Amino acid sequence: MSRQPRPERHPGIRPRPTIWRRLDAAGRRALPAAFSVLLVLLLCAPLGLPEQQALLPGTTMASVFFWSVFRPASMPAAVVFMLGLLYDLLSFSPPGIAILTLLIVHACGLGWRHGLARQGFLLVWMVFLLVAAGVIGLDWALMSAFSQRLLPPQPALFELALATGLYPLLSALFTWAHRGIADPTLA
């Protein structure tokens, strides 16, 4: 909290770090995680949207992936873990699966971020598609293993299609937030 601004990274005259400015910066830093938690809570709420339960995996994965690539400081592994735990407890899936899948998505985003952050949107999207395919396949396999029978693959494919289709929309929203309301340097 008491870190001095490093002059070599952000040169220029800085405003005094008053308590409001620090709160503002902290809020901006916490926005991605808070938004993801709110997303999980809302999508489990009785909104009566069509295919509401199918939206949940795609949106959480997209959120975790985007922030892991573009600002991992706002989406640390512990937050991803808590997000997965919340997801598991609110939805009716066997516990642990969502935690594991979200952590894998986070790890992929974090590991490849130096390559990905410089690429255009299309390539990031393709990588997200691959990661989501792998993770949803794993989810399906674990579900099948736990219920001791081969589950139908159609829901998993639908889930993947929805996740892929939702990513550009969420990416646009997150990019806007990344440059605007969620940017701590603007505080």
Q: Does residue 97 touch other proteins according to CB under 8 A? A: yes
* Sole binder of other proteins in the list 17, 27, 34, 93 (CB under 8 A): 93
Q: Does residue 153 touch other proteins according to CB under 8 A? A: no
CB of 175 to other proteins, least distance (A): 25
CB 174 within 8 A of CB 66: yes
Residue numbers 30-69 binding other proteins by CB under 8 A:
41, 44-48, 52-54
Place of tokens 């959120």: 63
CB 64 within 8 A of CB 105: yes
Place of tokens 């999980």: 40
Angle (nearest 5°) at CA 28 between 22 and 30: 100
Residues that bind other proteins (CB under 8 A): 1-2, 41, 44-48, 52-54, 76-78, 80-81, 84-86, 88-97, 99-100, 103-104, 106-107, 110, 142-143, 146-148, 151-152, 155-156, 159
